[in-house]
Amino acid sequence: MSARWDAVVVGAGPAGSATALQLARAGARVLLLDRARFPRDKPCSEYLSPESTRVLERLGPGVLGAVAAASPARLTGMKVVAPSGAAVVGRFETFSYALPRTRFDTILRAAAEAAGAEVREGVKVEELLYDRGAVAGVVARDTYRARIVVGADGLRSVVARRLGPVHAIGPKRVAFTAHVAGVRDVHDLGEMHVGRPGYVGLGPIGDGVTTVALVVPFAAARRGARFFEELNRFPGIAGRFNARRIVRHVLATGPFSRWSRRAVAAGGGALLVGDAADFFDPFTGQGIYSALRGAELAAAAILATLATGASLQLYARARRREFGAKWLLERVIGIAVGWPALIERVVGRMIRRPELAHLLVRATGNCVPAGAALTPRVLAGLVL
């Protein structure tokens, strides 16, 4: 049976909407499905790394204009605070936007629709359809046949699980995120406070609201703790909050650290993008950039396949080239934050050598290649 759609995209988060937008703009017949109804929330620190701005620009002036008009905060750098309270600031060369995911994701979803993608909400995909070994569509309440299926359905992607093994790799952490008004001393910086155990990320997201993410080992979360009491054990945070000024309830997520063995279906016909393909740890704040940049790579590969029958494996290779060093940097940092004494030492080194703080913040902000922060000279400077 011939497919009604060139591509069915499962998930209308940043990865799915950005992929659908680019495919539809190039003339493909695209169906974008999401189980949620928008605006929908997502546990996140809601900071778009500076290089995300460049991708949003490429998605079209309407997209970046809508983000800029949604009263986002503008961050000029990141403060890293060690368990003792010692702190260092690394600055971006430019700035990054930060805004609630309810607004950001709704802008992207609307842009995909405006570009010509058909969007259906409240549709939960359960299974994949196959035709002679290749993925040929998805099954929800109805069946949707497509030449290509894009799994952009996030951390617990059903498309990824149907395509093959999803590895759960350590460290096993969970996160609790909230929006709080009137947090003291929040200006134009994102803040990462490392504790014993866990860490807290916080930063402004516009309109006087701060997003607060508490990330702790899974085992610590199971012992049970109250959100604001936990925040008070971080010296750089204690006393800055008024629990009564919470403006959005606490959302929980995790454990994360997932890695799909196949970003492209073995028999063809499907690929994964964004968290559905991989997500390690939120500390470096690169998830949205990876989703958007991954969407560019996915759209290019899909358009080549639709036009010439080229293999989707080109996408797997493009991802390795684009993200290989970033994956390594994310892992090095994600593992290091589980060692408070090591973070104490690294922050001490960066206080003495601020250029290392700027380099690390720019590498995790995707402003300079991640590999620039992974040279023996830089690593030695950070720990020796």
Ligand X SMILES: Cc1cc2nc3c(=O)[nH]c(=O)nc-3n(C[C@H](O)[C@H](O)[C@H](O)COP(=O)(O)OP(=O)(O)OC[C@H]3O[C@@H](n4cnc5c(N)ncnc54)[C@H](O)[C@@H]3O)c2cc1C
The verdict on 125 binding ligand X (CB under 6 A) reads: yes
Token look-up 């060690």 returns: 82
Peptide bond into 39 cis (omega under 30): yes
**100 contributes a contact to ligand X by CB under 6 A:** no
Q: What is the DSSP letter of 133?
A: T
Structure tokens at 299: 């759209």
* Residue span binding ligand X (CB under 6 A) among the ranges 31-39, 110-118, 127-135, 230-238: 31-39
> What span, in angstroms and rounded, lies between the C-alpha atoms of 213 and 111?
28
Judged by beta carbon, residue 49 or residue 210, the one nearer ligand X is 49
Residue 33 forms beta bridges with which residues?
A: 10, 120
Query: Least Å distance between CB 308 and ligand X?
Result: 27
**Shortest separation between residue 383's beta carbon and ligand X, angstroms:** 26
Q: How far is the CB of 114 from ligand X (least distance, A)?
A: 18
Of 168-187, binders to ligand X (CB under 6 A) are 175, 177
C-alpha 47/C-alpha 100 separation (Å) is 9
- Does 204 engage in binding with ligand X (CB under 6 A)? no
- Of residues 219 and 252, the one with the C-beta less far from ligand X: 252
Stretch binding ligand X (CB under 6 A), from 179-187, 275-283, 300-308, 343-351? 275-283
Q: Is 13 in the site for ligand X (CB under 6 A)?
A: yes
* Residue of 98, 83, 75 whose CA lies nearest to 361: 75
Nearer to ligand X, 76 or 311 (CB): 76
Residue selected from 45, 96, 106, 364 as contacting ligand X according to rule CB under 6 A: 45
Residue 63 exposure: Cα atoms within 13 Å on the Cβ side? 26
CB 108 within 8 A of CB 55: no
Cβ atoms of 63 and 115 within 8 Å: the answer is no
For ligand X (CB under 6 A), the number of binding residues is: 41
Residue 37 CA to residue 124 CA, distance in Å, equals 11
User: Counting contacts by CB under 6 A, is residue 110 touching ligand X?
Assistant: no
Contact 373, 381 (CB under 8 A): no
Contact residues: ligand X, CB under 6 A: 10-16, 33-36, 40, 42-47, 49, 124-125, 152-154, 158, 175, 177, 213, 253, 256, 274-276, 279, 282, 285-289, 291
